[in-house]
A and B are shown apart, each in its own frame.
Chain A
């Protein structure tokens, strides 16, 4: 058991050249945070620094911080510097691990695109594993060499809403050598279906993330290797089809749109295990349910226009959704969505696999929401743990935000009235309904609220409750715990935590 020291260390006096005496990999780490300009300056201080800069495995090239518009001299010098840097690396066979390129093609020189391509090609030749490309000012075509790269594992492309083109499908065969595992497209505009055609060819692709993509009306995602798919805010899109994804086990969809045309979402993922869906309600939803699904998170906003015919369609969609998440053991719902489900007559619904139910809310729960919740709970026959958690609203609610604000502004008396009426309602509900089965309740109280009535109601209705944990951030009134003790069953353990 002997530890030996390979790295040279200077004395404590600090006179030595500390930075240069650090092992290469540490200095490389330090300079990986530097921008191109700082890197150039740093390389100017000593020969060793220059060598370190030339040999760094993580290179980040950018002309965005340096460039003054229209300054040709500046442009030339950046390009010349990078050109010689790349030449130097090439001739010394320096390995490259990651290349991050932030490039503006505004007022670019005629040969600039070609140069950038050649740097990408150079990176591919030096065994690059990660590409992070952020391009502005010009439609950008992904070179075939990047897509066919034999060492690449992660590719991130952001064109700042500019057009991104995939190479012609004639070169699809190059993708067969691709080792790409993770593909992230952000703020890109795709005007043809090049991406959809290339996608099935990446045989090792595990993670795909499409965020703020524009330009397409419909998208069909098919990939036999993909395991995790994330789709975030693709507003222009009308139809999403996720099919032929045998290995997909995690699906995350955050899809908000201002109403424009009909929207549809079709999912057929036989091995899905985790499913998250938040955003606006679509007009048509279909999901081939997966028996492996064990975790689902749903936070949909109410449908925008409530005409008569639409309501039936909505109900059909929600029924389909509930059916397809039937096998889930762990479910998280926003309280607003539970309310929507009740309004559309979808509750109660038998969810007899459910073990843990997490209800998320951003404000105190209204009487109507309690009603919806209790209706949901009657269908959860095997529920063990109910969690009521507080969180900031993930999505601003575009439909109700104005009324929400007026509601909270009028505060005081109004809210008290709803509490009183809901208390009566709650009591009558508790006497009528079947008792809840859960053994454990965890509840987070929102700032300054105590929601005593809701807690009492839960204590009253949950006949087999063994443990109730309440965490709160602002002080509770003194009568709080004595009041609860009156309602709880003798065998129920009560825990109160103050969270900092």
Chain B
């Protein structure tokens, strides 16, 4: 980031139809965009982002800005406090724009969520909290429910047993 060179601006249009102006120093961190910056700037194009909304893009930009000078620290807080839905948006955006470090951070955070949720005794709760819809056939569902009723909270061993059974 040389200060002598005039910083260019890259324009984006988000899924909710808002135009975003992003400094080149930030935009180069988007692997997907990197190679097209010269073209886009020269022709005054706007890059459409059909799957990233304005709120999420603002977060990604903010992260990249902070990330450029002060690694890790700041974002730990920002990402850790974000609610689940925001994290998913962020993950989709980061994957689409290919911001490797952000993908890593967020997926690690989501995995913690999955683990936390996995610790709850009933999978109904598991599903609710991470928003997973069960697509097991009704008879399997029924089996599982019966098992749960008779055994109470599933012990570690049982989880392994049952899931190994289900795999076959």
Report which A residues bind B (CB closer than 8 A). 1, 3, 5, 7, 9, 12, 14-20, 22-23, 25-26, 29-35, 37-38, 40-50, 54, 66, 71, 73-74, 77-78, 80-81, 83-85, 88
Select A38's contact among B103, B107, B114, B161, beta carbons within 8 Å: B114
Instruction: Tell whether, in the assembled complex, residue B132 and residue A49 are in contact, meaning their CB atoms are under 8 Å apart.
Output: yes
Instruction: Tell whether, in the assembled complex, residue A26 and residue B107 are in contact, meaning their CB atoms are under 8 Å apart.
Output: yes
Select A7's contact among B36, B96, B133, B168, beta carbons within 8 Å: B96
CB 8 Å contact bits of B143-168 with A (1 = contact, 0 = none): 00000000000001101111110111
Instruction: Tell whether, in the assembled complex, residue A31 and residue B114 are in contact, meaning their CB atoms are under 8 Å apart.
Output: yes
**Complex alpha-carbon distance, A74 and B130, angstroms:** 28
**Complex alpha-carbon distance, A88 and B163, angstroms:** 12
Instruction: Tell whether, in the assembled complex, residue B132 and residue A45 are in contact, meaning their CB atoms are under 8 Å apart.
Output: yes
Instruction: Tell whether, in the assembled complex, residue A1 and residue B40 are in contact, meaning their CB atoms are under 8 Å apart.
Output: yes
- Contacting residues, chain A, for B108 (C-beta < 8 A): 33
**Given contacts A1-B36, A46-B133, A85-B164, A30 and B114 within 8 Å (CB-CB):** yes
Instruction: Tell whether, in the assembled complex, residue B92 and residue A9 are in contact, meaning their CB atoms are under 8 Å apart.
Output: yes
- Contacting residues, chain B, for A33 (C-beta < 8 A): 107-108, 111-112
Q: Within the complex, what minimum Cβ distance (angstroms) separates A342 from chain B?
A: 39
Consensus secondary structure, chain B interface:
helix
Total inter-chain residue pairs, C-beta < 8 Å = 147
Which residue of chain A lies nearest to B158 when distances are taken between CB atoms in the complex? A77
Which A-B residue pairs are the 5 nearest by beta carbons? A33-B111, A81-B164, A41-B118, A14-B85, A18-B88
Instruction: Tell whether, in the assembled complex, residue B95 and residue A26 are in contact, meaning their CB atoms are under 8 Å apart.
Output: yes
Q: Within the complex, what minimum Cβ distance (angstroms) separates B54 from chain A?
A: 11
Which residue of chain A lies nearest to B155 when distances are taken between CB atoms in the complex? A74
**Given contacts A1-B40, A30-B114, A41-B118, A46 and B134 within 8 Å (CB-CB):** yes
**Complex alpha-carbon distance, A17 and B51, angstroms:** 17
Instruction: Tell whether, in the assembled complex, residue B163 and residue A40 are in contact, meaning their CB atoms are under 8 Å apart.
Output: yes
Starting from the known contacts A3-B47, A26-B95, A29-B104, 13 additional A-B residue pairs (CB-CB under 8 Å) come to: A1-B47, A14-B131, A18-B84, A29-B103, A38-B115, A40-B164, A48-B132, A77-B157, A77-B160, A85-B164, A85-B167, A88-B167, A88-B168
- Contacting residues, chain B, for A73 (C-beta < 8 A): 157
User: What are 18 A-B contacts defined by CB distance under 8 Å?
Assistant: A17-B131, A19-B132, A20-B133, A29-B104, A29-B107, A30-B111, A30-B114, A33-B111, A42-B114, A43-B167, A44-B159, A45-B123, A45-B126, A45-B132, A46-B132, A47-B136, A54-B167, A80-B164
- Contacting residues, chain A, for B138 (C-beta < 8 A): none
Instruction: Tell whether, in the assembled complex, residue B91 and residue A42 are in contact, meaning their CB atoms are under 8 Å apart.
Output: no
| Chain B interface size, under 10 / 10 to 19 / 20 to 34 / 35 or more | 35 or more
Which residue of chain B lies nearest to A35 when distances are taken between CB atoms in the complex? B115
Instruction: Tell whether, in the assembled complex, residue B167 and residue A50 are in contact, meaning their CB atoms are under 8 Å apart.
Output: yes
Instruction: Tell whether, in the assembled complex, residue B135 and residue A44 are in contact, meaning their CB atoms are under 8 Å apart.
Output: no
**Complex alpha-carbon distance, A25 and B156, angstroms:** 27
Instruction: Tell whether, in the assembled complex, residue A22 and residue B163 are in contact, meaning their CB atoms are under 8 Å apart.
Output: no
Which residue of chain A lies nearest to B168 when distances are taken between CB atoms in the complex? A84
- Contacting residues, chain A, for B166 (C-beta < 8 A): 43-44, 50
Does B22 sit within 8 A of A, measured CB to CB? no
**Given contacts A1-B36, A18-B84, A18-B85, A81 and B163 within 8 Å (CB-CB):** yes
Instruction: Tell whether, in the assembled complex, residue A74 and residue B157 are in contact, meaning their CB atoms are under 8 Å apart.
Output: yes
Select B136's contact among A14, A46, A71, A77, beta carbons within 8 Å: A46
Which residue of chain A lies nearest to B88 when distances are taken between CB atoms in the complex? A18
**Complex alpha-carbon distance, A259 and B50, angstroms:** 67
Q: Within the complex, what minimum Cβ distance (angstroms) separates A416 from chain B?
A: 38
CB 8 Å contact bits of B51-78 with A (1 = contact, 0 = none): 1010000000000000000000000000
Q: Within the complex, what minimum Cβ distance (angstroms) separates B122 from chain A?
A: 11
**Complex alpha-carbon distance, A234 and B131, angstroms:** 50
Q: Within the complex, what minimum Cβ distance (angstroms) separates B155 from chain A?
A: 9
Select B132's contact among A1, A20, A26, A34, beta carbons within 8 Å: A20
Instruction: Tell whether, in the assembled complex, residue A46 and residue B53 are in contact, meaning their CB atoms are under 8 Å apart.
Output: no
Select A5's contact among B50, B104, B168, beta carbons within 8 Å: B50
Q: Within the complex, what minimum Cβ distance (angstroms) separates B13 from chain A?
A: 11
- Contacting residues, chain A, for B47 (C-beta < 8 A): 1, 3
Does B127 sit within 8 A of A, measured CB to CB? yes
Instruction: Tell whether, in the assembled complex, residue B159 and residue A37 are in contact, meaning their CB atoms are under 8 Å apart.
Output: yes
Instruction: Tell whether, in the assembled complex, residue A3 and residue B48 are in contact, meaning their CB atoms are under 8 Å apart.
Output: yes
Select A84's contact among B92, B104, B134, B167, beta carbons within 8 Å: B167
- Contacting residues, chain B, for A74 (C-beta < 8 A): 156-157
**Complex alpha-carbon distance, A73 and B160, angstroms:** 11
Q: Within the complex, what minimum Cβ distance (angstroms) separates B143 from chain A?
A: 12
- Contacting residues, chain A, for B112 (C-beta < 8 A): 33
- Contacting residues, chain B, for A88 (C-beta < 8 A): 167-168
